Amino acid sequence: MPKKGGKHAEMGKETQAQCKRAKLEAACSPSVLSFENPDSLFGSLISPIKEEVFFKEYWEQKPLLVQRNDPLVAAYYLSLFQLSDLKELCSQGLYYGRDVNICRCVNGKKKVLNKEGKVNYMQLKKDFDQKKATIQFHQPQRFKEELWKIQEKLECYFGSLVGSNVYITPQGSQGLPPHYDDVEVFILQLEGEKHWRLYKPTVPLAREYNVESEDRIGNPTHEFILKPGDLLYFPRGTIHQADTPLGTSHSTHVTISTYQNNSWGDFLLDAIPGLVFDTAKDDVALRTSIPRQLLMQVNTADSTKKLSSLLRRLADHLDHTRELRSSDMKKDFVMHRLPPCLGCDSDSLTPGGKLPKIDSKIRLQFRDHTLISVEPDQENAVG
């Protein structure tokens, strides 16, 4: 599954190299998605399901299958990524591990077939055709402008990093064993057909990736075929496996994922230290010493009553201040999120006209990428 960070390296150069082709693709396959704003993008992505229905009935609860049988949607999905794109992409300098993984499910286990160094297209095609290996392409939005636009809008919509992988699997083959992930998953079927089986989670809303054995997961709760233009959503922790049926030359789908390490537990781990620091300034109880030799004890059960009392004091402080600040999570999101997609035209960022005055009215061009933070004046702070 896609992981956070490092996904925008060399993006500027790659985007310039892809501009001409991206524009041609857009002209040939008009978008069926609405890029007017983040809300409209997500609404059009899950259409005809309404947003309020999705979050009330499906989000973090159960899978959603949208089977469309719509040629316009299928044509647009095909323009996002297809097997034939790999030849040109390999000529741009792809590397095993960083950009591409080659794998196959063998006896319930993932067998990685990566070579060393640069990806050779002929070798890649050979592994695909002869070894029935699945091609896993990491973070395709680096090369595909339309995917960049989708993910950038979704990051604005969710307020969380969004990653993606493309999976291309030949007929009669399966790339990965049954497993669950630590991300919310949206799957867009781009080419061919894929046979999916979903199972009841053993760890609901899981915090980590894990492989599950066939004898532990029981019978599928959902089983179906995804066809071009179809969309599948399932929550983190959902056990799943998928194979390309015989009679289909190959299957291509893109997995768009989000909400990795983005739970209330993660937020509390991030925000509680700051809350303790701020509360301790005003509450002497938090500044009193811990008992002698507490750190030398194996069993600290005697201190749990005191800790419970202090936690209640923190809660009381929070009720009064109503301020709980994220630190590292917010920085991680701001540093690693996708910038606005400008395509090949960067004129919109070129300064022009008169400089604004102190009383001038301004308009934020990328308001979803603007974060206003008010911090204490460090120069005048009492220390």
pLDDT for the residue numbered 25 = 45
pLDDT for the residue numbered 326 = 76
- Cα 22 from chain centre: 22
Average pLDDT of the residues in 115-127: 96
Confidence class for position 20, pLDDT limits 50, 70, 90: very low
Looking at the predicted structure, is the pLDDT value of residue 344 above 70?
no
**Euclidean distance between CA atoms 80 and 189, whole angstroms:** 10
Looking at the predicted structure, is the pLDDT value of residue 342 above 60?
yes
**Euclidean distance between CA atoms 170 and 2, whole angstroms:** 21
Which residue in this structure is represented by tokens 């702070």?
381
Least confident of 16-20, 109-113, 218-222, 269-273: 16-20
Looking at the predicted structure, is the pLDDT value of residue 360 above 90?
no
Looking at the predicted structure, is the pLDDT value of residue 197 above 90?
yes
pLDDT for the residue numbered 29 = 64
pLDDT for the residue numbered 374 = 62
pLDDT tens per residue across span 308-329: 999 999 998 888 887 777 779 9
% the chain with pLDDT above 90: 70
Confidence class for position 1, pLDDT limits 50, 70, 90: very low
- Cα 94 from chain centre: 22
Query: Which amino acid makes up residue 169?
Result: T
Angle between helices 11-28 and 145-158 (to 10 degrees): 100
pLDDT tens per residue across span 262-271: 999 999 999 9
Question: 177: helix, coil or strand?
Answer: coil
The angle formed by the CA atoms of residues 101, 65 and 184, to the nearest 5 degrees, is 50
% the chain with pLDDT above 70: 87
Q: What stretches of 5-99 adopt beta strand conformation (E)?
A: 64-66
Average pLDDT of the residues in 231-242: 98
Confidence class for position 140, pLDDT limits 50, 70, 90: very high
Looking at the predicted structure, is the pLDDT value of residue 296 above 90?
no
Confidence class for position 80, pLDDT limits 50, 70, 90: very high
Looking at the predicted structure, is the pLDDT value of residue 10 above 60?
no
Average pLDDT of the residues in 16-22: 43
Nearest CA among 123, 116, 111, 81 for reference residue 95: 116
Helix (H) or strand (E) holding 41: helix 38-46
CA distances from 248 to 85, 91, 106, 176, 238 (A): 19, 27, 20, 18, 26
Nearest CA among 117, 120, 40, 136 for reference residue 87: 120
Looking at the predicted structure, is the pLDDT value of residue 375 above 70?
no
**Euclidean distance between CA atoms 229 and 194, whole angstroms:** 12
Looking at the predicted structure, is the pLDDT value of residue 346 above 70?
no
Domains and CATH numbers, the chain: 38-258 (2.60.120.650), 263-289 (no CATH)
Are the beta carbons of 188 and 147 closer than 8 angstroms?
no
Looking at the predicted structure, is the pLDDT value of residue 3 above 80?
no
pLDDT for the residue numbered 378 = 55
Average pLDDT in the chain: 88
Question: 45: helix, coil or strand?
Answer: helix
